[in-house]
Structure 1
């Protein structure tokens, strides 16, 4: 489902120190135990630098962006030297496929197609690692532990979307290339998460709005977990860098998680707009319970959703998950969040 409104060397001090490559342990039979260094935005330059004046400039790599590049470790690779991993396989784009050189991916910048490929791999993998960090796949049942295809820069429009029938994500290249913003990548992975939990999820306006809201929520919490909560831009602002191409107000945001919309007064029948009602409830749950408890119960609740769930039914499922996992105090906090939005 689309994420819109249906939208130079690197300074040494700016580089994270990582090993160039890591081989599996001796005797390991884990195909996915390989790692390699790569260069990314963490998660995007507007958020990192607090500079709302940054522009796409037709994919140019200019000096103001240099401090935003980071060397990181790409994990769960298959060791082939390509961006093929346990949870995501990056498909060919308009340029050559990214490959390792001497065990590491070169330090490509945004003027190279391979930079977006590395970004896409890193942020999908980070999203799955976040879910596992919450206990999914260990203490709790696994969530979306499948390999999805990520198609980078194959779509010329300023849009991205998940296709459940093929379990793949396409990220577009209009304006700021969508894969340059980690929050756009993780938003789309949010749709894959829900589809993995409830195949075909999002068949109605309300369930579709929940899908868009969860994608926005996951985008923010994953990037804050991986990179640290932003201090120079609002944490609740989604896709600060990508949205510079289509917004004029500052701060640049695709959407926000801390809006004031309520149900049913602010329902307009468009999934992205209506999703801001649901995402604010999720945001309030996180503020009340903290990231780990909130995100765990929010994701766990989705196993009980129907493909065509309503706001009210999904809210009741979320309250039930809070009660089951953390008891009555958590359930009361979740109920209060949905009540404030007019959902319960």
Structure 2
């Protein structure tokens, strides 16, 4: 074939067609937003063995689930749900049935909605747009597959398991988002959290993200303290006012270090809370998440704090860096 003929064929060939996006479907579903204690302001609520008591009725919300694959299942761009109990939730005509807490499928819908909402929050900060993507992968969310009152993220399988002891963890959005926080950090720094201090940072960030996402999605709570994490899940193991942990504690480094990651994480989370108070949610969360790309899997409090100050300076200038430095200095970290 002559060169002229080859050029003619190339010029007339049909342009390549981009593959269709498989995750454009939506469906309605029913959730707590974020949990009934926070919504209703009732510290006397109890699990009552998953009973759908009339007192819970005002806490249910109809929401739109996005980024679904259109199969009618809870499979989407950022999460696929797998349940250990009960049949899988299934949508018909663009709507999941209005499951309530006495149905296993309610927690399946909760899990899908709140993981997707957490990722949408992160993207609203600019990640995946003007900033590099953060954890834009599909994770597996396992509902009621652990009998204890605990949930966990497994970095070797990139999945989250939500427990069913006490109040089922899938009923509290802040527990779901806390666990997604571990997935976020693992997506940024594979294997993150290999030492007591880095593990504490992981627990602290999960708590911070849980509060930031729930307030972004539903508004700052008016009937409970915003700094209180997982008000509903914690009714099974705390006295009123119920909190799994708080972001506004007064622990100080190193005097209050006890070698347990959840307890020690309250030192780091208070610093994050103070950064948010000083700079506002959007700037604080953006620099906090951006800084984590520079963390080592076994980072120390001091090294991670220095990376966070550097991210603040790079993104927002010296005044923001000063506010971040002040927050970490107040905790004894810098």
Give the structure 2 partner of residue 293 of structure 1. 283
Residue number among 217, 224, 229 corresponding to 2:220 in the alignment: 229
Structure 2 counterpart of 1:313: 303
Shift in Å at residue 30 of structure 1? 1.5
Partner of 2:147: 156
CA distance in 2 between partners of 1:245 and 1:85 (Å): 32
Could you tell me which residue of structure 1 aligns to residue 7 of structure 2? none
- SS at 1:153 equivalent: strand
1:112 lines up with 2:103 in the alignment = yes
TM-score in terms of structure 1 length = 0.91
2:121 to 112, 115, 130: 130
Contact 1:212 1:272 (8 Å CA) reproduced = yes
Matched, 1:197 2:188: yes
SS for the counterpart of 1:317 is helix
Paired position in structure 2 for 1:342? 332
Secondary structure, in 3 states, of the residue corresponding to 2:28? strand
Following superposition, the deviation at residue 162 of structure 1 comes to: 0.1
Cross-structure match for 1:246 = 237
Instruction: Give yes or no for the alignment of 1:331 onto 2:321.
Output: yes
RMSD, aligned CA: 0.9
Count the aligned residue pairs: 317
Q: Say which of 135, 141, 162 aligns to 2:132.
A: 141
What residue ranges of structure 1 are gaps of 5+ in the alignment? 1-26
CA drift of 1:331 comes to: 0.1
C-alpha separation in 2, matches of 1:207 and 1:67: 40
Asked whether the 8 Å contact 1:93–1:113 carries over to 2, the reply is no
Pair 1:78 & 2:69 matched: yes
The whole-number CA distance in structure 1 between the counterparts of 2:183 and 2:66 is: 20
2:156 is matched with 165
- Could you tell me which runs of 5 or more consecutive residues in structure 2 were left unpaired when the two chains were aligned: 1-17
Q: Secondary structure at the match of 1:324?
A: helix
Task: Find the structure with the greater CA-based Rg.
Answer: 2
Query: Partner residue of 1:266?
Result: 256
C-alpha distance after superposition, 1:1-41 (max 9, x if no partner)? xxxxxxxxxxxxxxxxxxxxxxxxxx992211110000000
| Cα separation, 2, equivalents of 1:343 and 1:154 | 38
Residue of structure 1 aligned with 2:79, choices 88, 99, 105:
88
| Cα offset, 1:102, TM superposition | 2.5
Distance 2:154 2:145 in 1: 14
